[in-house]
Amino acid sequence: MRVLPVPGGLPIQRRNVTAVLAGIEAITFDFGNTLVPVGRAALRSVVLLTAEAASRRDAKVEREAFLHAWSEERERQFRENVPQFREVDLTERLVRVYARLRGMPAPASDAGWDDAAAGRLSDPAEIEAIVEAYSRSFVEALPPAFGVDAMLARLAASGRRLAILSNWPLAATIDRYAEARGWMTALRAIVVSQRVGVIKPHPAIFAAARSALGEPEPASILHVGDDWAADVAGAAAAGWRTAWVSERPADTPLPTSEPDRTVEADLELGAIADLERRLAWVGAVGGAGR
């Protein structure tokens, strides 16, 4: 594509991107399918390792029965919680899985659990151990998107405040992942739906992230994510600028939504690695126009 010159020697393409990104002081990143691709096979391997940990702890827990119950209860949780902007809970899921494995009939697909009764069929220490196994398996099994480790370090060095802002059922997993990858020195905050109590696009989780970043002006925050409704529409409603990442595993089991064009993203990125190149046209914070 031929790029026409404009006064001052700044190409039209670069001038437009510079205008969009000027004044960005903080950047928040979605986790699953933005910083870390989550394909079906990779996530299944995590659940398999979790089932094996459960079987080692209790020989009466059959792996295939665990996997079947896990899958059905995962889907039930999404039906119950997502329409209410609530995060699913892994501890709750495991309590229900163990109740099924130990003889309590699962309710009909459109009915709810008696969680108090289900909880009497497992021990809290047992549930905690299997949640921990799931978390550690995820960190070990899923690598980040190409170049993310170095990108976060360079963006932090540019003077921008960085945070993870994610819908995720176990905040400790993201904490552990960030620690293992060396991201903690680049991040100001990790804001996760499990801790906040609501999922994106609810405005409360964006308010929590802005507070954790030191209350920058909304228009100075850029949120980067792959889920149109949660990330683009949610951040735009909060007055933030937005970058949509179109690349994600085709078979991802994570909840996703596609562009409906009721809002427009400020940037559309083929991959997360494209962000740094676009920001390089602006430079470090306070460096635009130099």
Q: What is the pLDDT of residues 51-85, one digit of tens each?
A: 999 999 999 999 999 999 999 999 999 999 999 99
Q: Is residue 115 part of a domain?
A: yes
Same domain (yes/no): 34, 104: no
Q: Is residue 286 part of a domain?
A: no
Give the domain-ending residue among 141, 171, 186: 141
Residue 64, domain extent: 40-141
Give the domain-ending residue among 141, 167, 199: 141
Categorize the per-residue pLDDT at 211 as very low, low, confident or very high, splitting at 50, 70 and 90.
very high
Unique residue bearing structure tokens 């691709």: 37
Integer Cα distance of 16 and 22 in angstroms? 10
Q: How far is CA 19 from CA 1, 9, 47, 89, in A?
A: 20, 15, 45, 41
The pLDDT value recorded for residue 7 is: 37
Same domain (yes/no): 115, 182: no
The pLDDT value recorded for residue 3 is: 36
Inter-residue contact 94 to 130 (CB < 8 Å)? yes
Q: At 100, give phi and psi (nearest 5°).
A: -65, -45
Number of domains in the chain: 2
Same domain (yes/no): 257, 161: yes
Same domain (yes/no): 162, 28: yes
Q: Is residue 252 part of a domain?
A: yes
pLDDT of 196 higher than 90: yes
Integer Cα distance of 285 and 290 in angstroms? 11
What pTM, to 2 d.p., does this model score? 0.88
Categorize the per-residue pLDDT at 152 as very low, low, confident or very high, splitting at 50, 70 and 90.
very high
Give the domain-ending residue among 126, 141, 156: 141
Peptide linkage before 201 cis (omega within 30 of 0): yes
Burial-class residue 45 by CB neighbours within 10 Å (0-12, 13-18, 19+).
Answer: middle
